[in-house]
């Protein structure tokens, strides 16, 4: 499957077929990818009193309203707003959800793949787990950052820490159901059960 090169990336952005905004520097567009900057919101994943991640408990908390739902969210994540030119320390073994500075909007025939920039990866920074942005998505990309090294990594909002490449997709890309992260402006906990409720207790439809 062909990957968009620099000239096609530039043309796609100029024609508004693809949106990656804002582009603050011409160096942000590479040979076949676009660098993504760290946004200034951080959700730190905390253990607190939880002994394990349970999809059933997460589903119940997501279905709750008001104080119960907010208490559950705060139990799992600590939210920080990091001013520009202020460092955030990512400690070894930690997981942080961080939005990109850029808004990304894909057409129906492109798939986005997100990875860490190699210079940061060599320092131990990993863009963990979810790395695919599906066609038609309009979203601030959430980066799942983890530190695979042995010492903390200082990160500053606005730094280019990730990169996204775009692959052309054959066939139709319409999909049924809700797209849970579409139009999101900052990270939030996803529904890890989805339509698999028949496989866990108390969740059968």
Q: Which positions are catalytic? A: 144
Cα–Cα distances in Å, from 121 out to 69, 178, 187? 35, 33, 22
Please work out, in degrees rounded to the nearest 5, the angle formed at the alpha carbon of residue 151 by the alpha carbons of 54 and 100: 60
Distance CA 89, CA 96 (A): 10
* 112 within 8 A of 133, measured Cβ to Cβ: yes
Residue 79 structure tokens: 């939210």
Token pair of 7 as six digits: 């000239």
């Amino acid at each position: 499957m062909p990957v968009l090169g620099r000239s096609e990336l530039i043309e796609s952005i100029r024609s508004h077929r693809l949106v990656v905004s804002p582009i603050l520097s011409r160096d942000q567009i590479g040979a076949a990818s676009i660098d993504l900057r760290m946004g200034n919101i951080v959700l730190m994943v905390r253990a607190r009193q939880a002994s394990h991640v349970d999809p059933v408990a997460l589903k119940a908390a997501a279905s709750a309203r008001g104080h119960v739902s907010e208490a559950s969210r705060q139990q799992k994540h600590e939210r920080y707003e990091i001013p520009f030119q202020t460092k955030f320390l990512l400690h070894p073994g930690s997981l942080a959800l961080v939005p990109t500075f850029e808004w990304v909007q894909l057409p129906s025939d492109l798939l986005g793949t997100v990875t860490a920039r190699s210079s940061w990866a060599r320092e131990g920074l990993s863009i963990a787990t979810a790395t695919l942005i599906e066609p038609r998505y309009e979203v601030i990309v959430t980066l799942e950052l983890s530190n695979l090294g042995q010492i903390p990594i200082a990160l500053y909002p606005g730094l280019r820490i990730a990169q996204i490449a775009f692959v052309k997709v054959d066939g139709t890309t319409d999909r049924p159901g809700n797209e849970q992260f579409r139009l999101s402006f900052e990270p939030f906990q996803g529904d890890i059960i989805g339509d698999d409720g028949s496989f866990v207790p108390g969740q059968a439809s």
